[in-house]
Amino acid sequence: MIITIDGPAAAGKGTLASKLALKYNLAYFDTGMVYRAVGLEMLLAQNSLEDVEKAEKLAQSLTFPRMIELSKNPDFRSLEGSKAASSVAAMPGVRSALLLMQQNFSQNPVFADGSKADGAIYDGRDTGTVICPHADIKFFVTASPEVRAMRRFKEYESKGQKADYNEVLEQTIERDARDYAREGSQPAQDAIHFDTSDMSIEEVFEKACKIIENR
Ligand code: DC
């Protein structure tokens, strides 16, 4: 079984995906990690975030183990790391270089320890449209920019990272504009929509489980 969960940043995709992966024994691929990995490589190499050629080269040489290694760096999910990820994700050459790595996971889904799984759950922006258009179930999860910015702000605070709510809100709106301008980022036609602005994660999870079990 392949499930995709798309939607904007901090809409609750990751939490929902992790809970569903655990319940249905599915391997989980957080596809934002591929862009975060390339963005962080750019920062570590002190490349300009406008340097498309260097970003494409780094995307072409990215491997799964390197991505996991980079994910341990505190900047992988920092404000700066998020900006870098969003910049490289806007480059078509970077996206196409990372396409196969993401698609291959659905043919051979594996858990974090390397053992084989019977299916996969993806979270991202284009997983139901570009990466796995034939997924069995597609969700599109969203929430208002203010609610999402507050979630990200609290996440930074809980990690002891400095952040300003207004700056996080501004960045959320900017990232939405950049992320949704490109093809494939709109909801898949057959996606089931959830607005999580006024829903608890338990409510979202229960609704999603009912849909999965009814299929
Ligand atoms: O989901 P995230 O915040 O970790 O994603 C990091 C960046 O990568 C974000 O700017 C959106 C982009 N992204 C994308 O363009 N396509 C995906 N499938 C996943 C993430």
pLDDT at 53: 98
- At position 68, the amino acid (one-letter code) is I
Q: What ligand 1 atom has the least distance to the C-alpha of 36?
A: 6
Q: What is the C-alpha to C-alpha distance for residues 32 and 30, in angstroms, rounded to an integer?
A: 6
pTM of the predicted protein model: 0.93
CATH fold for the domain made of 2-202: Rossmann fold (3.40.50)
The ligand 1 atom at the shortest distance from the C-alpha of residue 85 is 7
Identify whether the C-beta of residue 171 lies closer than 8 Å to the C-beta of residue 8. Answer: no
CA of 125 to the centre of ligand 1 (A): 6
Per-residue pLDDT of the chain (215 residues; tens, 9 = 90+): 999 999 998 899 999 999 999 999 999 999 999 999 999 999 999 999 999 999 999 999 999 999 999 999 999 999 899 999 999 999 999 999 999 999 999 999 999 888 999 999 999 999 999 999 999 999 999 999 999 999 999 998 998 988 899 999 998 998 888 877 777 788 999 999 999 999 999 999 999 999 999 98
In the reported structure, the alpha carbon of residue 123 is separated from the centroid of ligand 1 by a whole-number distance in angstroms of 9
**28 and 119 Cβ atoms separated by less than 8 Å:** no
Q: Which strands sit side by side in the sheet containing 192-195, from one edge to the other?
A: 27-30, 120-124, 2-6, 137-142, 192-195
Cβ atoms of residues 155 and 12 within 8 Å: no
Instruction: Please give all residues whose beta carbon lies within 6 A of any atom in ligand 1, as ranges.
Output: 9, 31-32, 35-36, 85-86, 89, 124-127, 175, 179
How far away, in angstroms, is 9 Cα from ligand 1 center?
A: 7
Tell whether the torsion through CA atoms of 1, 142, 72 and 43 is positive or negative.
positive
Q: Domain residues of the chain, as ranges? A: 2-202
**Nearest residue to 43 (alpha-carbon basis) of 72, 74, 66, 75:** 75
Q: Which long-range contacts (CB under 8 A, 24 or more apart) does 66-70 make?
A: 66/37, 67/33, 67/34, 67/37, 70/36, 70/37, 70/40, 70/41
